[in-house]
A and B are shown apart, each in its own frame.
Chain A
Amino acid sequence: MKLKKIILPAIGPIFAILAALMVGGVILFIMGLNPVRAYSELFKLGMGTYLGITESLKKMAPLLIMSAGLIIVFRAGIWNIGGDGQFLIGAIFVGGIAPLLVNEFPPYLYFSILGLVGFFGGAMWVVIPAMLKAKYQINEIIITMMMNFVALNFTAYLVKGPLIAHPGRYPQTIILPLEKRLPLIPFTEIHIGLIVGLIAIILVHYFVRRTTWGYEFRLLGENKKAAFYAGLNIKKVTILAMLISGGFAGLAGANDVLGIKGSFQGEWNPGYAFSAIPLVFLARFNGFAVIPLAYFFSFLAIGGEFMSRAANVPVFFVHVIEALMLIFFGLSEYIQKKGKLFWKF
């Protein structure tokens, strides 16, 4: 019974992954490449080498953290797709502030404060769309997306101007010394961001299901009219959900600066949100399902990079697979709901 509960919802995503790989193979073939070789390189290098596994696990952290915020905001029926902008603002806040605190605090406090700084930065970037949405019902999709471009240029300005470490040289904030970056998980080369991500996603999973706030988010997301009828302060809940999701995106930014980069560099934009959004949908807003999917997505990204070098496949090919996965996931949802393929003509 319990097993059935886990397996049944997993059929859709698994089908989507397999179908996407298959169609991706056809595309590779059409491009004149050898799909068997490409895929074998992908899996061999991505899952079969120490480097591949470590890198994939490292890359999971920002995806997990960002997904945690997205689960909340999507549950509330609000489409914050500006996660990348919020990520960048969180990251530049941390990149700018970390060097100032680096020798002032004991490590635990230092990392906690910077985590909060990142969270605050991301949340700040969502204030404008959240207010517009709550007060004037202005579409949050457009505004959050537009704010991405603003964030990209704004951070580029900051890192080339006021926050540049050495004017005239490569634009980046002051680089943190290695010992002032996130500590590693014992016996591995993976920083503890992964643990933060896992805790965040599991906390959020239960937060949505087990708290009154989570209940309010679900109410709002499922039926706005009923939420109003129930006496919910819709403006407050809308703003709150958006701020939390922005905050998590900013925290993901803090994670990357403190765990991987050590500074905010140039016109950096890893675009995690556009992986995290489909990921959260594939997981049907279930925190536990996000974990294996986040691993698979980061494996695709890392393995894809290796594959591109080994089998001469463009790096962007992994995005093709991600897109195909989403299409096939939608299709499998449709089939599961209707019990048949396509409508009758």
Chain B
Amino acid sequence: MSEVPQTVIKMRGISKRFNGLVANDNIDFDLRRGEIHALLGENGAGKTTLMNILSGMYQPDEGEIYVKGKEVKITSPEDSLNLGIGMVYQHLSLVPTLSVLENILLGTSKRFFLPKKHTEKKFEETTKHYGLSVDPDTEICQLSAGEQQRVEIVKLFYRGSEVLVLDEPTSVLAPLEVEDFFKVLKNVTKAGKSVIFITHKLEEAIRISDRITVLRQGEKVGEIDLKAVAGKKEGEPLGEEIVRMMFKDEEAKFVEGIKKAPKKTLDRAVLTLEGVTAKNDRGVEALRRVSFSLHRGEVLGIAGVDGNGQKELAEVIVGQHKVSSGKIVLNQSDITNKSVKFINERGVFYVTEDRIEEGCVSNLSLADNAILRCYKKEPFSKRGMLLNLEAIKEYGNELIKNFSIKAPNAEALVRTLSGGNIQKLILAREFSQKPIVLVCNKPTHGLDVMTTQFIRNEIRTQSARGVSVLLISSDLDEIMEVSDRIGVLFKGELMDILPNKGTTKEEMGRLMLGLTDKGK
């Protein structure tokens, strides 16, 4: 390219502290027109803080921001929107019962009647221009996560955004949707818009972006121009170089982890499902005649694209969801449609995917959350009546220590903890009560590499102790790294259970899309 790429956004010396904790330390960041710039780093590295400063959610303590060469003060999200900076958050902000078009109109029109005709035309132009196909008249709740994300992006372009800031955009997407999404990004940049892509997934950053800025503990530790590197053609080492930037050296080794050798023989069955069928909350069959056995000390991975009955499978086992037909047996005793307490008392523990809303009580202290499963037992209460506050506090501190949860003390409210530490707390709670069966639904979803690795190691340790683990996850790498056997859920049916040996990702991928070659 002959023309010099114009810098759209320039951030200089940005620092931000929260109660003495440094979130951003003297960070410089540039975004050129028409580029995809990845912001890579662990959870807590300061990516989101930096972008929240750009979008006006926070004010920097130090530093300047220039948009198209002019210094600006961004004091509110509205300011940044007016400057052409649009942010798409992890949790999408659409109204589910309104149509796509109505969502796009929200907040844009000051007139009493919605200017529908005019909008429709402009909407069509926008979608065509960027190759974003969305039907304007469907309701948001009928769209998949990927489509909803597209609506968010169209919304921002409709409002004239020049710069898109995407916060972990692929975390809500299925593998195939990620491909589509990357295509959209390419189209968008071709049309002259710029994209900032916040991620902690190294592969994605390398695949999609033009440049990568790496943050670690609030500091900028490197900036890589992928085009320049590609010219040199060094191949492999690039990824490793970035990993070294993201973590300190000794941590990098830890991240690699150990591949688990699958068990050769199966121990006795601990949990058996026979033809389990269950309806979801809308009355549609979410599980269809699911049968399998979970054996002592094994990790059974359940793969599948999100929304194929994973949640129902987990909840049916732990008693949170009713079975409409079929049988669930735990150690020879029938636990079908028994209460959560009944099943839990018999050794079934559950790491829910919804860690904030369901897995913890954010307004209670860490210690209070730690005893969620055992508050009626000694020493936490006397005869199940009087709580022993000292023992509870001690137990909270013990969990903090054993699972290296980052919290000031056991009396800290859970809502003050980060997502990764909340997940560690939940894990600590569920793992520490001598479980027989552990049901883990997406235990590492949205967490950084360090925590993810920690959690996977814990799962392995548990299975080595003889605990049977049902690991439900949409992350194939995770399933293949940890499980002994792997089953695939597709539209509520368990497709097949394969040993985790000689099974390739492609095979799994086919099963996840509902293609079997059982006929062969």
Contacts and interface: CB of A to CB of B under 8 A. Distances in A.
B341 A228 contact: no
Contacts of B102: none
Interface string B359-380: 1111110001001110110000
A218 interface: yes
Interface string A221-239: 0110110111111000000
A215 B387 contact: yes
Interface in A202-219: 209-215, 218-219
Contact of A222 (B340, B358, B363): B363
Say which size band chain A's interface belongs to: 20 to 34
Given A212-B381, A219-B361, 20 more contacts: A210-B386, A211-B381, A212-B375, A212-B376, A213-B385, A214-B387, A215-B371, A215-B387, A218-B361, A218-B368, A219-B372, A223-B357, A223-B360, A225-B354, A226-B357, A226-B359, A226-B372, A231-B341, A232-B341, A344-B76
A228 B340 CA distance: 8
Interface string B189-200: 000000000000
Nearest to A219: B361
B59 interface: no
Contacts, number: 67
A209 B76 CA distance: 41
Contact of B352 (A210, A215, A218, A229): A229
Interface of A: 209-215, 218-219, 222-223, 225-226, 228-233, 344
Given A229-B350, A230-B372, A233-B339, A223 B362 contact: yes
A232 B371 CA distance: 13
Interface residues of B, number: 30
Contacts of B368: 215, 218
Interface of B: 76, 319-320, 339-341, 344, 350, 352, 354, 357-364, 368, 371-373, 375-376, 381, 384-387, 389
Contact of A229 (B358, B363, B375, B386): B358
Contacts of A231: 319, 339-341, 344, 373
A147 B368 CA distance: 36
A225 B344 contact: no
A226 B364 CA distance: 12
Given A228-B320, A229-B340, A223 B361 contact: yes
A230 B373 contact: yes
A113 to B, nearest CB: 26
Given A215-B387, A231-B339, A226 B375 contact: no
A214 B384 CA distance: 12
Contacts of B357: 223, 225-226
15 contacts: A210-B387, A212-B381, A212-B387, A215-B375, A218-B361, A223-B361, A223-B363, A226-B358, A226-B372, A228-B320, A229-B320, A230-B340, A230-B372, A230-B373, A231-B373
A210 B389 contact: yes
Contact of B361 (A209, A210, A222): A222
Nearest to B363: A222
A212 B339 CA distance: 19
Contacts of B341: 231-233
A344 B76 CA distance: 9
